[in-house]
């Protein structure tokens, strides 16, 4: 806690300038990649009615049972900070009348909120980049979406990732499977931990997702959903797997991958890494063919995924890549009040003429020596120097900072025309 008694809220982090380069790199790459695959950006509110999440994510999920930041308005309406983005996007598609048989390829990003126990890679405010394709029955879109994520890791230079796949079948197939599971786990009730006993009544599939090592033996003996798939889901899944294999996108089928949200059907997938300790999922998604009609919209098969930005950024930074702030092209050194005044106006006019060049004007005064120290630290290849002496003659000095010699005086009126060529010689 700071002197003033102020502290950041538990599980909520600042992203400091030293870290922002990796974030912006990821944002830039994903923005371009999604556009190249035909996805458009949509922005939805951070707060929705609590019922939206209860109805979509499911009453017996970890998120709804214990992770939501919920508050009550003066009029009694219950609102919740979004724990994920799919529900809000589905709601937005319905309430804005975007569906009507249309196909939508959408992405969004921003903070999500879950009241979890904070630890490395698990926060209460965290960031997701979220992609959704609405109105596509697949499996072609499932394959393309997975290929897009595989391309993303390649573009980011992330190699320690593995794709896990499973099919959850249709809700009917799942209902039948659920009975097999309940029978099995009831026979082994003594081996279940408290969480799993609770889930046995509400959401027995979630027992398969247990992270408790003591539960692994009983979980590994449980019947598998893949053995109870309906024929159409089986065909969908076989097509998905065969095409991914033909496209040389490696995957492993994980029959216990069930995902924590209720709305999934058929394809579910997760990209995991062995480089981040126990918070190993960096990108998870799946098909949710029933969600939109369940929320009152028209039947719209759909698939989407969400990426945990903090975890992907951690991988990027671990990879040793640096994402430095771009250095200015020109650092402007101006000594004396008059030089400062002239300099400010001069730099504005240079900015007007060269929008792509970065000019950093020395701010906060200082003698020539101090200003040159800052100019060196800025990383700029070139200093533009204005002193009384230069002003009297209507010139500025241009001084290379990263190589010896070559200082020259240039009339103020010619600076805009000369600077680009000088920068080119310095870079070359
Ligand atoms: P986990 O099993 O790690 O709790 P999840 O199944 O709850 O993940 P999703 O709801 O599918 O996760 O969210 C998609 C992605 O968002 C995850 O793969 C992960 O990268 C990230 N994520 C989820 N919860 C958090 C959190 N509390 N802090 C940071 N990132 C998170
Ligand atoms: Mg979770």
Can you list the positions of beta strands (E) in 326-381? Answer: 330-334, 359-361
Tokens describing residue 66: 């214990």
Q: Whose CA is nearest to atom 2 of ligand 1?
A: 281
Q: How far is the CA of 426 from the centre of ligand 1 (A)?
A: 47
**Nearest-10 Cα torsion for 84, 90, 95, 100:** 170
Query: In the chain, what are the domains?
Result: 20-169+229-318 (3.30.930.10), 330-426 (3.40.50.800)
The reply to whether ligand 1 has any atom less than 6 angstroms from the CB of 282 is yes
- One digit per residue, pLDDT tens: the chain, 428 residues? 556 789 999 999 999 999 999 999 999 999 999 999 999 999 999 999 999 999 999 888 889 989 999 999 999 999 999 999 999 999 999 999 999 888 999 999 999 999 999 999 999 999 999 999 999 998 999 999 999 999 999 999 999 999 999 999 988 888 888 888 899 999 998 889 988 888 888 888 888 878 888 888 899 899 988 888 899 999 999 999 999 999 999 999 998 888 766 778 899 999 999 999 989 999 999 999 999 999 999 999 999 999 999 999 999 999 888 898 899 999 999 998 899 999 999 999 999 999 999 999 999 989 999 999 999 999 999 999 999 889 999 999 999 999 877 899 999 999 999 999 999 998 75
Which ligand has the shortest distance to the CA of 122?
1
Tokens describing residue 151: 């391309």
Instruction: Kindly report whether the peptide bond that precedes residue 345 is cis, defined as omega within 30 degrees of 0.
Output: no
Q: Whose CA is nearest to atom 26 of ligand 1?
A: 122
The position carrying tokens 């899944």 is: 237
* Ramachandran angles phi, psi of 41, nearest 5°: -80, 140
> Where is 253: in which H helix or E strand?
strand 252-253
Q: How far is the CA of 371 from the centre of ligand 2 (A)?
A: 51
Which ligand has the shortest distance to the CA of 260?
1
Atom of ligand 1 nearest to the CA of 63: 7
Instruction: Report which of 269, 276, 260 is spatially closest to residue 163, judged by C-alpha positions.
Output: 269
Q: What pLDDT, on a 0 to 100 scale, did the predictor assign at position 2?
A: 59
Kindly list the strands in the beta sheet with 40-41, ordered across the sheet, starting from the edge strand earlier in the chain: 40-41, 104-113, 125-134, 302-308, 281-287, 265-273, 161-167, 252-253
Residue 72 bridge partners (DSSP): 78
Q: What pLDDT, on a 0 to 100 scale, did the predictor assign at position 1?
A: 53
Residue 161 bridge partners (DSSP): 273
The reply to whether ligand 1 has any atom less than 6 angstroms from the CB of 123 is yes
Which ligand has the shortest distance to the CA of 53?
1
* DSSP character at residue 122: B
Answer yes or no: are the C-beta atoms of 134 and 99 closer than 8 Å. yes
Answer yes or no: are the C-beta atoms of 404 and 388 closer than 8 Å. no
Q: How far is the CA of 67 from the centre of ligand 2 (A)?
A: 9
**Exposed, middle or buried by CB within 10 Å (0-12, 13-18, 19+), for 189?**
exposed
Give the whole-angstrom CA distance, residue 125 versus residue 134. 27
Tokens describing residue 147: 């290929």
Give the whole-angstrom CA distance, residue 204 versus residue 417. 72
Instruction: Report which of 301, 225, 295 is spatially closest to residue 259, judged by C-alpha positions.
Output: 225
Q: What pLDDT, on a 0 to 100 scale, did the predictor assign at position 203?
A: 81
Give the whole-angstrom CA distance, residue 262 versus residue 54. 10
Atom of ligand 1 nearest to the CA of 259: 6
Give the whole-angstrom CA distance, residue 361 versus residue 351. 11
The reply to whether ligand 1 has any atom less than 6 angstroms from the CB of 310 is yes
């Amino acid at each position: 806690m700071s002197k003033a008694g102020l502290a950041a809220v538990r599980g909520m982090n600042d992203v400091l300038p030293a870290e922002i380069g990796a974030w912006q790199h990821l944002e830039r790459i994903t923005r371009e990649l999604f556009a190249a695959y035909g996805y458009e950006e949509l922005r939805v509110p951070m707060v929705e009615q609590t019922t939206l999440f209860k109805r979509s994510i499911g009453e017996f999920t970890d998120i709804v049972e214990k992770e939501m930041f919920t508050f009550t308005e003066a009029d009694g309406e219950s609102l919740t900070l979004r724990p994920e983005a799919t529900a809000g996007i589905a709601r937005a598609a319905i309430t804005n009348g975007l569906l009507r048989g249309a196909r939508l390829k959408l992405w969004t990003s921003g903070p999500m909120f879950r009241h979890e126990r904070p630890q490395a890679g698990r926060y209460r405010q965290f960031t997701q980049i979220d992609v959704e394709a609405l109105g596509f029955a697949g499996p072609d879109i499932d394959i393309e979406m997975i290929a897009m994520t595989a391309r993303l890791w390649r573009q980011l230079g992330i190699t320690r990732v593995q794709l896990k796949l499973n099919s959850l079948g249709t809700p009917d197939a799942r209902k039948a499977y659920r009975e097999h599971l309940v029978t099995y786990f009831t026979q082994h009730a003594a081996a279940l931990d408290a969480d799993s006993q609770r889930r046995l009544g509400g959401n027995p599939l979630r027992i398969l997702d247990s992270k408790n090592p003591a539960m692994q033996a009983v979980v590994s003996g449980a019947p598998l959903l893949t053995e109870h798939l309906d024929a159409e889901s089986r065909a969908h899944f076989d097509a998905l797997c065969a095409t991914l294999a033909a496209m040389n996108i490696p995957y492993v089928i994980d029959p216990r991958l069930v995902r924590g949200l209720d709305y999934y059907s058929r394809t579910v997938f997760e990209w995991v890494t062995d480089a981040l300790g126990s918070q190993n999922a960096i990108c998870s998604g799946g098909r949710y063919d029933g969600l939109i009609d369940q929320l009152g919209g028209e039947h719209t098969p759909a698939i989407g995924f969400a990426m945990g930005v903090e975890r992907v950024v951690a991988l990027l930074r671990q990879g040793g890549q640096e994402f430095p702030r771009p250095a200015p092209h020109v650092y402007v050194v101006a000594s004396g009040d008059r030089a400062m005044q002239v300099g400010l106006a001069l730099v504005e006019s240079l900015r007007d003429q060269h929008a792509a060049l970065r000019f950093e004007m020395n701010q906060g005064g200082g003698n020539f020596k101090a200003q040159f120290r800052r100019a060196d630290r800025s990383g700029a290849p070139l200093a533009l120097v204005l002193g009384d002496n230069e002003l009297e003659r209507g010139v500025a000095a241009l001084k290379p900072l990263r190589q010896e010699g070559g200082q020259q005086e240039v009339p103020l009126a010619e600076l805009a025309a000369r600077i680009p060529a000088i920068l080119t010689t310095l870079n070359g």
